[in-house]
């Protein structure tokens, strides 16, 4: 009895202490004036990532290091021969209107400058129609300045052509009355077209206009005696065309925030654009209403004569032919097979990804640290770069007009043979998500409505978003294109980025996968899967490694250069630092040198900007842990920069590097 009474008193004592402790904590929580600290996922990522090793890691050279065979290539777009300054007595003014998105605008401006030099004409700053058509955008920017730095553009090309901001006052009124002749040149127009047809009218009227909607107005490959004009294209694309300061500052800030995480990052552009998918007949890669949207756009292209094929086409055959983009889940499998771990930071570029976030779900599952501009920038930063804009109506949707009784009777008569179908059920309420975009018209009408004010505003905004993505993609440690050089001749985002990276740092890791080979790899079933020397993963690694080196560069040049010169500005815009390796010259289908014909760099480049080349013997060495993500560590801790951190959600996994051979 005595023992039981002691246990009873101990239990009572414990209950009293627990109750007192609870009262104490409640009083502290009620009367405390301490502010709560807001949780930041980005800060948590920093702490978690640093806690994995305790020290900053050095990236594995096999995944992030430079491509050694291309280290001797250096950017060199300076004139090589006697290149006189522009003639004071020009033949007249050239003004232009450019239709299209970011890619078409950039490539067209390069052609316009080249044509102005060819015709000895004064170039008027061209009008970017994507910004002038949009109503209510910021009045601080006018057309060209909405995207590019006008002062830098004029100053950089002062030794090449004369550029003015606008026509003289005595010619502006005549232009508004359409008194000057205008041309709609084709994308592949030859220099003879401008010399024989455009130049005589330019000399006669002193002013001509060019309306360009195909993403270019001059053929890509010029005769060998016009090599200086090709270098002029490079000077325009890679030096003169600088984004306006606000875009550059935010773009470089995004790169700094990516670098602050203490590891390299990969930029990936899906290339899933509706026009591209419709042109190549890739509708069946999607489902439901997305397939209908692609087919509708393809039908429009057939009517306009852009596509000369049937409306319905086997998309799977096109995919096997390499005409369709790689789907995001396929890119994720390729990167994992190459050895990139799940915690790799991937920057998603591109203002348009057809199919929305649903098509990105598999890639996010494989690489949780998939970020974009909205992850790196606050809403205020993105709105500030657009400037003050006139607000638009919140709900621009308008229901189709109600049908009259006569129309309903006529439809009933034309409904087909009896028995007639039952009348439709009573109308249900239309939800908000069905009023926006294609939800509002695809089930109601047979034709796509004209662009609304909101659509035009979004097209102008996409120019800014693509500019930010362009800066990040060029500066990325690695770039992977989901689609490039589509064969239509239109410029595409990935091709521009790949050409810029090839010009600035040719040895940067830029994958150039052959989509036809990739489709064959994905279609494999059991061939050589379990052979230790020829399994599927090693086949993927072999193909991607070849795409990084000279072999992939040469294959890509044969495809890309005839369509867009600035996507492969070799050998005209590069020079080569002499090395002990034997130089391999490769010629294209037209007999011109596409690789190996670079001149030797001048002495001032050798002494000033020479890139140290690694010894040839190191290329063949195999590290003990070749596919490990990090080879060694440093004792320095990464500096934190709390002011630049945003609310991006990143996931850090404590996983060891995947060994593809396991």
Between CA 335 and CA 657 the distance in angstroms is: 13
Structure tokens at 482: 């989901």
Q: What is the DSSP string of 550-604?
A: HHHHHHHHHHHTTT-GGGS-TTTTEEE---SSPPPPEE-TTS-EEES-PEEPPHH
Q: What is the mean pLDDT of residues 591-602?
A: 78
Q: Is the pLDDT of residue 200 over 70?
A: yes
Between CA 531 and CA 73 the distance in angstroms is: 38
Structure tokens at 465: 């978003």
Residues 516/480, Cβ–Cβ less than 8 Å: no
Question: Which class for 278: exposed (0-12), middle (13-18), buried (19 or more C-beta within 10 A)?
Answer: buried
Question: Which class for 442: exposed (0-12), middle (13-18), buried (19 or more C-beta within 10 A)?
Answer: middle
Task: List C-alpha distances in Å: 139 to 66, 95, 127.
Answer: 44, 22, 15
Is the pTM here over 0.85, yes or no? no
Asked if the bond preceding 571 is cis, omega within 30° of 0, the reply is yes
pLDDT tens, residue by residue, 230-281 = 999 999 999 999 999 999 999 999 999 999 999 999 999 999 998 899 999 9
Q: Is the pLDDT of residue 61 over 60?
A: yes
Between CA 373 and CA 472 the distance in angstroms is: 10
Residues 479/331, Cβ–Cβ less than 8 Å: no
pLDDT value at residue 530:
57
Which DSSP helix (H) or strand (E) runs through 207?
Answer: strand 207-212
**How much of the chain exceeds pLDDT 90, in percent?**
41
Would you tell me how many other CB atoms lie within 10 Å of the CB of residue 227?
16
Between CA 431 and CA 445 the distance in angstroms is: 18
Q: Is the pLDDT of residue 13 over 80?
A: no
3-state secondary structure labels for all residues of 470-485: HHHHHHCCEEEECCCC
Question: Which class for 404: exposed (0-12), middle (13-18), buried (19 or more C-beta within 10 A)?
Answer: exposed
Residues 649/41, Cβ–Cβ less than 8 Å: yes
Would you tell me how many other CB atoms lie within 10 Å of the CB of residue 500?
22
pLDDT tens, residue by residue, 155-198 = 999 999 999 999 988 888 888 888 889 999 998 899 999 999 99
Would you tell me how many other CB atoms lie within 10 Å of the CB of residue 284?
18
Long-range CB pairs of 615-618, under 8 A, 24+ apart, other chains included? 616/580, 616/581, 618/68
Between CA 87 and CA 279 the distance in angstroms is: 43
State the chain's maximal CA–CA distance in angstroms. Answer: 123
Say which range, 65-69, 76-80, 151-155, 448-452, has the weakest mean pLDDT. 448-452
Residue 162's contacts (CB-CB under 8 Å, 6 or more residues apart) are 86, 90, 122, 123
SS3 label, residue 527? coil
Exposure b/e, 520-556, CB count within 10 A at least 16 = b: ebbeeeeeeeeeeeeebbbbbbebbebbbeeebbbbb
């Amino acid at each position: 009895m005595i023992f039981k009474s002691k246990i009873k008193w101990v239990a009572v004592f414990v209950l009293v202490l627990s109750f007192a402790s609870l009262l104490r904590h409640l009083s502290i929580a009620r009367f405390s004036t301490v502010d709560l600290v807001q949780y930041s996922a980005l800060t948590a990522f920093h702490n978690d990532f640093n806690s994995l090793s305790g020290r900053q890691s050095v990236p594995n050279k096999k995944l992030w290091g430079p491509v050694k065979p291309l280290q001797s290539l250096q950017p060199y777009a300076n004139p090589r021969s006697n290149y006189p300054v522009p003639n004071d007595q020009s033949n007249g003014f050239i003004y232009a209107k450019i239709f299209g998105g970011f890619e078409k605008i950039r490539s067209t401006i390069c052609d316009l400058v080249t044509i102005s030099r060819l015709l000895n004409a004064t170039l008027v700053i061209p009008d970017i129609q994507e910004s002038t058509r949009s109503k209510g955008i910021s009045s601080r920017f006018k057309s060209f300045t909405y995207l590019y730095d006008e002062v830098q553009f004029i100053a950089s090309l002062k030794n090449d052509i004369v550029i003015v901001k606008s026509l003289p006052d005595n010619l502006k009124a005549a232009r508004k009355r359409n008194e000057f002749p205008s041309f709609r040149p084709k994308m592949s127009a030859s220099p003879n077209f401008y010399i024989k047809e455009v130049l005589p009218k330019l000399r006669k009227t002193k002013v001509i206009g060019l309306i360009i909607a195909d993403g270019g107005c001059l053929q890509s490959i010029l005769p060998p005696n016009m090599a200086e004009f090709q270098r002029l294209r490079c000077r325009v694309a890679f030096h003169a065309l600088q984004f306006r300061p606000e875009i550059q500052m935010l773009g470089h800030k995004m790169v700094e925030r990516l670098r602050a995480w203490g590891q390299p990052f990969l930029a990936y552009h899906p290339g899933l654009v509706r026009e591209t998918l419709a042109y190549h007949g890739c509708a069946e890669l999607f489902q439901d209403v997305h397939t209908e949207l692609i087919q509708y756009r393809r039908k429009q292209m057939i009517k306009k004569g852009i596509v000369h094929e049937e409306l319905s086409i086997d998309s799977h055959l096109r995919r096997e032919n390499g005409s369709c983009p790689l789907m995001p889940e396929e890119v994720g499998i390729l990167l994992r097979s190459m050895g990139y771990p799940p915690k790799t930071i991937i920057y998603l570029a591109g203002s348009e990804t057809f199919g929305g976030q649903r098509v990105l779900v598999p890639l996010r599952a494989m690489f949780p640290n998939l970020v974009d501009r909205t992850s790196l920038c606050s809403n205020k930063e993105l709105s500030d770069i657009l400037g003050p804009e006139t607000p638009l109506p919140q709900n621009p949707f308008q229901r189709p007009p109600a049908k009259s009784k006569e129309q309903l009777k006529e439809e009933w008569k034309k409904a087909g043979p009896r028995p007639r179908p039952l009348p439709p059920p009573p109308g249900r309420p239309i939800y908000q998500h069905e009023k926006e975009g294609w939800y509002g018209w695809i089930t109601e009408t047979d034709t796509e409505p004209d662009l609304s004010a909101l659509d035009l505003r979004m097209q102008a905004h996409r120019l800014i978003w693509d500019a930010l993505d362009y800066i990040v993609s060029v500066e990325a440690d690695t770039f992977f294109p989901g689609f490039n050089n589509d064969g239509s001749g239109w410029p595409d985002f990935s091709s521009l980025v790949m050409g810029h990276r090839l010009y600035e740092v040719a040895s940067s890791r830029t994958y150039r996968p052959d989509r036809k080979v990739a489709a064959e790899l994905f279609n494999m079933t059991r061939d050589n899967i379990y052979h230790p020397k020829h399994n599927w993963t090693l086949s993927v690694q072999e193909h991607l490694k070849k795409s990084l080196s000279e072999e992939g560069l040469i294959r890509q040049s044969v495809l890309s250069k005839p369509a867009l010169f600035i996507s492969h500005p070799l050998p005209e815009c590069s020079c080569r630092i002499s090395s002990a390796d034997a130089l391999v010259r490769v010629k294209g289908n037209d007999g011109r040198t596409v690789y190996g014909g670079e001149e030797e760099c001048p002495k001032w480049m050798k002494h000033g900007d020479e890139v140290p080349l690694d010894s040839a013997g190191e290329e063949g060495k195999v590290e003990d842990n070749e596919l490990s993500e990090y080879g060694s560590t440093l004792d320095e801790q990464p500096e934190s920069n709390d002011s630049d951190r945003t609310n991006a959600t990143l996931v850090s996994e404590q996983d060891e590097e995947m060994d593809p051979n396991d």
